[in-house]
Amino acid sequence: MIVLSINGQDTQVDVPEDMPLLWVLRDVLGLNGTKFGCGMAQCGACTVHLDGQAVRSCVLPVTGAVGKKITTIEGLNATDLGKRVQQAWLGIEVAQCGYCQTGQIMSAAALLAAKPTPTDADIDAAMSGNICRCGTYVRIRAAIKQAATGQLTLPQTIA
């Protein structure tokens, strides 16, 4: 049995040691917000936090997550920062198909936790590992700045 701390809860799983965390989350625990995109840390769709750091769960063997705090998109709104990022994403209306966006949001939240007012270069460095095929990059950059400063960066949608 492997014990994982996921979104503040200890969870036991009986899985092979080399099984990537992504598939433990999705196929064993039913936490489907974390997405499969490439299987080789090229696209970032599977991004989760490990002790606050953004990691690609598709290449992280589950044993590598033992003893660390795992946060997935399902647990992100437990923090004010997480909520702020999600609100900025909605205000600017970043998502199109939305498939990559949970990974984008996890990468963005980890960036903002480490650097509350990131520069464009910081955003480039933190976000270039997350692919979006719908091409929402312009809005991702704006949403990160909006979440950081609270100042509106692009026209907002009407809820």
Structure tokens at 26: 């999705």
What contacts 148, CB < 8 A, 6 or more positions away? 112, 116, 117, 118
Residues in 61-90 that interact with another protein by CB under 8 A: 72-74, 76-77, 86, 89-90
Count of all residues that appear for the chain in the document: 159
Task: Give the alpha-carbon dihedral of 67, 10, 89, 96, to 10 degrees.
Answer: 100
Does 2 participate in binding another protein (rule CB under 8 A)?
Answer: no
Q: Are 49 and 109 a contacting pair, CB within 8 Å? A: yes
100 part of the interface to another protein, by CB under 8 A: yes
Contacting residue, 46, 65, 105, 148, with another protein by CB under 8 A? 105
Compute the distance between CA of residue 125 and CA of residue 139 in angstroms, rounded to an integer.
Answer: 16
**What is the footprint of another protein within residues 23-52 (CB under 8 A)?**
23, 26-28, 30, 32-45
Residue 128 engages another protein in binding (rule: CB under 8 A): yes
Residue ranges that bind another protein, judged by CB under 8 A: 15-16, 19-20, 23, 26-28, 30, 32-45, 56, 72-74, 76-77, 86, 89-90, 93-102, 105, 123-141, 155-159
